[in-house]
Amino acid sequence: MKLIPEDKKLYIKDLKDFVGKQVQLECWMYNKRESGKISFLQLRDGSGFVQAVVEEKDVDSITWDETKKATIESSCIITGEVVPHFKEKDKFEIRISKFEIAQLAAEYPIGKKDHGPEFLFENRDLYLRSKTPWAVLRIRNQVFLSITNFFHEEGFLRGDTPILQPTSCEDTTELFEVDYYGTPMYLSQSGQLYSEAAIMSFGKVYDFGPVFRAEKSKTRNHLSEFWMMDAEMAFYDQDMNEDLQERLVKRILKDALENCKQELEILERDTTIMEACIAKPFKRMKHFEAKKELEGDGFTVNYEDDMTTEEEIALGNKYGIPVFIEDYPFEVKSFYMKSYVDEKGVKRARCADLIAPEEAREIIGGSQREDDYDVLLKELKERDYPVSDYEWYLNVRKYGSVAHAGFGIGMERMVRWISGVHHIRETIPFPRTIVLNRP
Ligand code: 4AD
Ligand code: MG
């Protein structure tokens, strides 16, 4: 019998090109329904899912016995003809002529009954094979590609930054300390400070890698290890920074809606709001305006403080598009941000957090950076930072300082928004949180 294709391995995603042909697939059987002389096997090979039908009358007794014997998650090699699905348009199935078990799987612990998230994440290595993780993590892959392509097209250099860092970038209470040949070092919270030095050579850089926050809180929005893309641009102010972020987020959404249709369908994601976000300009409002707005809506707000979870969710719901909350009180933001004093005498940071709708909350944090040597030095001293460790960082302001700005996008926050899953632990293959640290 002549199999197609003869020269390369065939994957389920390509079956549509082989209707009426005899094909061979290497796959796993994730489910099976048997009724007398006919069995329906649900198969997956990483690229997609397909149903295969086997009838006793069409196959030899060895093949029939093997299909009977096959357990859930057994690996197998099947041969058969690709035919249109008997009821779903644009879908295909396989009429099996030959079935071989590659490895007969032991009894699979993840069954058809509803398992709680604890059980699923204790068995994350196996749970990864289920449809929801498959769809979510393929969206993650698309987001990664979109970000990489966007920055490449925009003329950025990918300049990677170290994970072991001698100083803190964000809040010092959230540092993981490691013993580095007898000297304390910290796992990176963000590559930003290093990217600031790099733009003085390359103009525009981005990094992409794992970052770490010793988050004491147990929320559906926080991981202890997550992936962040930091971008940094020379000769840039905060308005230009927000324009760039808006274009990036729109690009990510557009690519995901175009290229992840099957994944979004599996997740039963209603994409109406995301589609609107591509078409409309994002909202931009000052921190005090946002607080005032929320006060008008019945919240008891603190004008001097960060946005609370409830406030971020309310703003996202109210506007239904991403909202840049600009110019937070400097006190609640990081030491490196450029500051100014407003007409009421409040010291503010030239910054913005980008709040996404649909309860996705803050997906980006960014700011213009302090570019004056003396102002930055004073701030480091005021916050009791070990100034000598930041000498190299101060140098950025000593030799040809320029206005510059940047931002960091949380990969998993972005994926959580697009996929619509409840908890951020779904958006990374092997999550690390205060309660999850294995497998
Ligand atoms: O707002 P953050 O802390 O900003 C920075 O780290 C800057 N140095 C970035 C920069 O300007 N280059 O973090 C950036 C983003 C947040 O907006 C959020 O999306 C995500 O990282 N993030 C987290 N994601 C998951 N779990 C956590 N614990 C996170 N903390 C921040
Ligand atoms: Mg932030």
Assign residue 158 the CATH number of its domain.
Answer: 3.30.930.10
Percent of the chain predicted with pLDDT > 70: 98
Regarding pTM above 0.75, the answer is yes
What pLDDT digit, counting tens, does each position of 265-291 carry?
A: 999 999 999 999 999 999 999 999 999
In a domain, 85, yes or no: yes
Query: Atom 21 of ligand 1 has which residue's CA nearest to it?
Result: 410
- In this prediction, residue 217 carries a pLDDT of 83
Q: Are residues 241 and 311 in the same domain?
A: yes
Alpha-carbon distance of 7 to 284, in angstroms, equals: 55
- In this prediction, residue 341 carries a pLDDT of 98
Q: Are residues 346 and 413 in the same domain?
A: yes
Residue 184 has pLDDT above 80, yes or no: yes
Distance 211 CA to ligand 1 centre (A): 9
Which of these three, 72, 103, 134, is where a domain ends? 103
Q: Are residues 410 and 282 in the same domain?
A: yes
Report which bound ligand comes closest to the CA of 171.
1
Distance 364 CA to ligand 2 centre (A): 7
Helix (H) or strand (E) holding 204: strand 204-212
Q: Are residues 92 and 158 in the same domain?
A: no
Q: Which residue has the tokens 């525009």?
A: 204
Residue 121 has pLDDT above 90, yes or no: yes
In a domain, 108, yes or no: no
Neighbours of ion ligand 2 (CB under 5 A): 365
Residue 2 has pLDDT above 80, yes or no: no
Query: Atom 4 of ligand 1 has which residue's CA nearest to it?
Result: 365
If you average pLDDT over residues 374-382, what whole number do you get? 97
Number of H helices and number of E strands within the chain? Answer: 13, 18
- In this prediction, residue 97 carries a pLDDT of 97
Percent of the chain predicted with pLDDT > 90: 92
CB 44 within 8 A of CB 28: yes
If you average pLDDT over residues 306-332, what whole number do you get? 97
Q: Are residues 81 and 221 in the same domain?
A: no
Token readout for 83 is 């035919």
The bridge status of strand 38-44 relative to strand 22-35 is: antiparallel
Q: Are residues 62 and 139 in the same domain?
A: no
CB 413 within 8 A of CB 361: yes
Cis amide bond preceding 5, omega within 30:
yes
Helix (H) or strand (E) holding 313: helix 309-319
Alpha-carbon distance of 166 to 172, in angstroms, equals: 12
If you average pLDDT over residues 64-84, what whole number do you get? 97
Computed over its alpha carbons, how large is the radius of gyration of the chain? Answer: 26
Alpha-carbon distance of 131 to 44, in angstroms, equals: 10
Alpha-carbon distance of 2 to 388, in angstroms, equals: 72
Task: Write the single-letter amino acid at 257.
Answer: L
Q: Are residues 168 and 55 in the same domain?
A: no
Query: Atom 17 of ligand 1 has which residue's CA nearest to it?
Result: 364
Query: Atom 7 of ligand 1 has which residue's CA nearest to it?
Result: 408
Cα dihedral 134, 139, 142, 143 sign: negative
DSSP character string of 11-25: -GGGGGGGBTSEEEE
Distance 225 CA to ligand 2 centre (A): 15
Domain that holds residue 345: 125-427
Q: Give ligand 1 pocket residues (Cβ under 6 A).
A: 169-170, 189-190, 192, 213, 215, 222-223, 226, 228, 230, 362-366, 406-408, 410, 412-413
Residue 111 has pLDDT above 90, yes or no: no
In a domain, 81, yes or no: yes
CB 271 within 8 A of CB 257: yes
In a domain, 110, yes or no: no
Distance 227 CA to ligand 1 centre (A): 9
CB 381 within 8 A of CB 339: no
If one residue of 306, 362, 411, 423 were mutated to test the ligand 1 pocket, choosing by the most ligand atoms within 8 A of its CB, it would be 362
In a domain, 118, yes or no: no
Q: Are residues 223 and 356 in the same domain?
A: yes
Which atom of ligand 1 is closest in space to residue 407's alpha carbon? 11
Residue 382 has pLDDT above 80, yes or no: yes
Which atom of ligand 1 is closest in space to residue 364's alpha carbon? 17
Alpha-carbon distance of 60 to 97, in angstroms, equals: 8
Residue 88 has pLDDT above 90, yes or no: no
Residue 72 has pLDDT above 90, yes or no: yes
Task: Write the single-letter amino acid at 294.
Answer: L
If you average pLDDT over residues 41-55, what whole number do you get? 97
- In this prediction, residue 207 carries a pLDDT of 97
Q: Are residues 304 and 421 in the same domain?
A: yes
If one residue of 172, 216, 413 were mutated to test the ligand 1 pocket, choosing by the most ligand atoms within 8 A of its CB, it would be 413
Give SS3 for 131: helix
Distance 353 CA to ligand 2 centre (A): 6
In a domain, 194, yes or no: yes
Report which bound ligand comes closest to the CA of 424.
1
CB 101 within 8 A of CB 68: no
Distance 266 CA to ligand 1 centre (A): 29
Q: What is the CATH number of the domain that holds 13?
A: 2.40.50.140
Distance 60 CA to ligand 2 centre (A): 63
Q: Are residues 13 and 131 in the same domain?
A: no
Q: Are residues 137 and 244 in the same domain?
A: yes
Query: Atom 11 of ligand 1 has which residue's CA nearest to it?
Result: 407
In a domain, 83, yes or no: yes
Report which bound ligand comes closest to the CA of 337.
1
Token readout for 338 is 């450029």
Residue 112 has pLDDT above 80, yes or no: no
Residue 299 has pLDDT above 80, yes or no: yes
- In this prediction, residue 90 carries a pLDDT of 84
Alpha-carbon distance of 334 to 131, in angstroms, equals: 40
Distance 43 CA to ligand 1 centre (A): 39
Alpha-carbon distance of 396 to 205, in angstroms, equals: 15
**What band does 173 get if pLDDT is binned at 50, 70 and 90?**
confident
Q: How many domains does the chain have?
A: 2
Q: Are residues 283 and 414 in the same domain?
A: yes
- In this prediction, residue 5 carries a pLDDT of 64
- In this prediction, residue 4 carries a pLDDT of 64
Which of these three, 103, 137, 153, is where a domain ends? 103
